[in-house]
Amino acid sequence: MELVVAVYNISSVPKMLELAKITYGFGVRRFALIKVFGAAAQQIGDLFKLAFKMGGEVLVFNDVKDAVEVLRPDVIYALGRPDRDTKPVEKADGRVMLLVHGSDLVFSPRELPPNAVLSHAVEKDIGSAGQLAVALYKLLGG
């Protein structure tokens, strides 16, 4: 399984760096930002510095469609709050994209690519960083 973590709609620098540290800390090399704006866009150099130190890479896209076109994931898990419409994250073959909302919001249908699976890693509302950490733990076996 080849993993990429993609963060959608992020403006907070601390949140961007926290999600990147979680990603790189689990050994996932590829970290993508989709629709980055505000302070996060202005201080994206901090992310590149962190990626360099931790042996990771950073990709930046204007929209989800561009990210999917370039990265070509076989499975897209759109992580969020658990509810009746979400499914638990499970191991999958091929390229897997974990799509995380940078603002801890629920993804709207128009924000997602057609083949995305609304998902959760744990059945508690622990925020996007928590959901990402647990999902990576489950997918990578600790």
pLDDT in tens, 70-128: 999 999 999 999 998 899 999 999 999 999 999 888 898 899 998 999 999 999 999 99
- Number of domains forming the structure of the chain: 1
- pLDDT of residue 142 exceeding 70, the answer is no
CA 84 – CA 14 distance, rounded (Å): 31
Kindly state the tokens that stand for 78.
């759109």
Give the structural domain span for 83: 2-140
Q: Beta-strand (E) ranges in 22-135?
A: 30-36, 57-61, 75-79, 87-88, 95-101, 116-120
Q: What is the pLDDT of residue 106?
A: 86
The DSSP code for 124 is S
Q: Chain centroid to CA 121: how far?
A: 12
Output the pLDDT for position 6: 98
- CATH number of residue 55's parent domain: 3.40.1280.10
Instruction: Please list, in sequence order, all residues whose beta carbon lies within 8 angstroms of the beta carbon of residue 28, skipping any fewer than 6 positions away.
Output: 3, 4, 5, 56, 136, 140
Residue 47 pLDDT > 90: yes
